[in-house]
Amino acid sequence: MKYLISPSIIVSFFLTPCLALLNISDSHPLDGSVGSQIIHVNALRGMVSIRDNNVLSEWDGILDYTHALLAAKLFSKMACVLARMDQTVFPSLADVSKALDKQALEHYPSTHGLTYTVLPNRVKNLDQYGETIKDMCRDVPTYFAQQQKEGTALAIDPDSCFNVQILLFMGLSICGEIPGL
């Protein structure tokens, strides 16, 4: 028995830091509103999950770095929106992990101004986007959204936009009427 204890301690000593790098979770108060944001980073799966319980604009989100997808379940609209993540604009998975350290937040550039427009056709097959996104968007209509290029003039009604804030440095607008609602 004493021969098993020593290897177990050694394995635990080396494995614990590795597991800490794989799963990071933190909760942040939201500026100027009532609520908080819980962010979980799973580096092994290449995903960031967000739970924003702001009473005025509650939403859940997934940043899937493996498939370069953003998914947001907008509770006030009772719909999910999927979009391709522009890897040149979005912070890397490592940057999001580092930003969970409250002192590091100020060192990351803001991405405010990214606008996505909801496309009219419903997504029929959520299986193709992976189990995590399928589970989050189950039972609500799901639509794809397209990122608008910077400087493109659009006739978008600002009242049709749902603003998503991730930590302090990442802001997105999901705009357009969601068909059928």
The string of pLDDT tens digits covering residues 83-109 is 999 888 888 888 888 777 664 555 555
What is this structure's pTM? 0.76
Tell me the DSSP string of 22-44: HEEEEEEEPTTSS-EEEEEEETT
Give me the amino acid identity at 38: I
What average pLDDT does range 153-179 have in this prediction? 74
- Domain ranges in the chain? 24-175
Share of the chain above pLDDT 90, in %: 33
List the one residue out of 64, 59, 100 whose CA is nearest residue 85: 64
